Amino acid sequence: MPVATAMQMFDLTDLMELDVAYANAAMADRVESQVKEILSRRHGSEDFTITTQQAMLDVFGNVMDVVTMSVGAIAGISLLVGAIGILTMMWIAVGERTHEIGLIRAFGASRRQVRLLFLIEAAGLGAVGGLAGLAGASAIGAVLRAAVPGLPLYPPATYVVAALVVAFGTGLAAGVLPANRAASLDPIEALRAE
């Protein structure tokens, strides 16, 4: 389409952008140099910028890398906060259930069984937190898909499983210290505790 016709059609006084389509991606360098040559001949100086599709894709890729790193950092901080929360809750649970720990130890439970009991509880808390997070993300995704039809917000199943495994592992890791504390309690001293 001639430039004058396009400017008249779109009611423009200045030309801001010119898009060039070509058949083969291998021609990109040649087309770019020819466009530059023609524009330089017509304008006399370079008062224009040529941006290829590959350059635009590179910029988009860089932006997506920054967004991915930012989201990863936020996720890491969230995991740390969650782990500290689980550690604190389990530490308090050991303190509040000292008498109960002494009782099950007096009935013959081994230190290993007490440790396992608290580790399972901590891992369960992590898994429940992971499930709640996935449910919240699914709800937000459903709202966004309803607001913007066609928005591709379907995480791969491997990511969903990985999220649950990480949440479970975080809970398990956060429960190690409280579980060891519970397992190391002397049954007689624990039974005397109020």
Contact 125, 83 (CB under 8 A): no
- Looking at residue 120, its pLDDT comes to 94
Who contacts 32 (Cβ-Cβ below 8 Å, separation ≥6)? Answer: 50, 52
Who contacts 112 (Cβ-Cβ below 8 Å, separation ≥6)? Answer: 183
At 95-140, the pLDDT tens digits run 888 888 988 988 889 999 999 999 999 999 999 999 999 999 999 9
Reading phi first (left if > 0) and then psi (alpha if -120 to 50, else beta), residue 18 is in: beta
Contact 90, 122 (CB under 8 A): yes
At 37-64, the pLDDT tens digits run 877 877 766 677 777 777 888 888 899 9
Closest CA to 71 of 159, 139, 177: 159
Q: Is the predicted pLDDT of residue 29 greater than 90, yes or no?
A: no
- Residue 17 main-chain phi, psi, to 5 deg: -150, 145
At 168-187, the pLDDT tens digits run 999 999 999 999 999 998 88
Closest CA to 127 of 176, 77, 161: 161
Q: How far is CA 13 from each of CA 1, 6, 7, 44, 154, rounded to the nearest angstrom?
A: 16, 11, 7, 20, 44
